[in-house]
Amino acid sequence: MEDTEWTHEWLDANDALSNGDANLLLALMLKNEKMPLALRDKLINILESGKFAFILKQLSAGRPKGNTKEFGLEESLDFFHVKEYLRANKKIKLVEFELILNEQYDVSQTYIRKALKTGKEIVASLVNNGHEYSAPTREELSKKYPQLFEQF
């Protein structure tokens, strides 16, 4: 094939190769398409320069990984106390509090509910086992999490 007989597939492969993507070029080569000489020379120059590395990408099955930040015990306990304080004093609904946490920390509702449940279970376990436990004050919580108290 002469340089004047470039098809749109080869032109697309050339553009992709210029941007660092050789997938389309390899697909056309595997179809036994006759490569234009100019593109062949360009590929030879790239390979000889050592600027080309063929890296296989491992595809994982299932959904793509998202933001899976799980909260630690301290955060879970603090969020539970913030929730209790806001619900008692500001008459905020649980759903509204979960929405605020979702906006502030960009995590799913599942992780927020898990953190609140963990905090509640820690307090219940301490009380049931006869340990003395005093909840942090509003001032302590507002210093630690000012973004949660700003809206109220």
Q: Which residue did the predictor score with more confidence, 75 or 20?
A: 75
pTM metric for this prediction:
0.53
Give the type of residue at 143. K
Compute the half-sphere exposure of residue 68: CA atoms within 13 Å on the CB side of its CA. Answer: 4
Compute the half-sphere exposure of residue 37: CA atoms within 13 Å on the CB side of its CA. Answer: 5
Q: Determine the pLDDT at residue 4.
A: 53
* Opening angle at CA 122, ends 133 and 83, nearest 5: 85
Residue range 33-63, pLDDT digits in tens: 788 888 888 888 888 887 777 677 777 777 7
Residue range 103-122, pLDDT digits in tens: 888 888 888 899 999 999 99
Domain residues of the chain, as ranges? 3-49, 73-149
Closest listed residue to residue 145, CA positions, set 74, 79, 94: 79
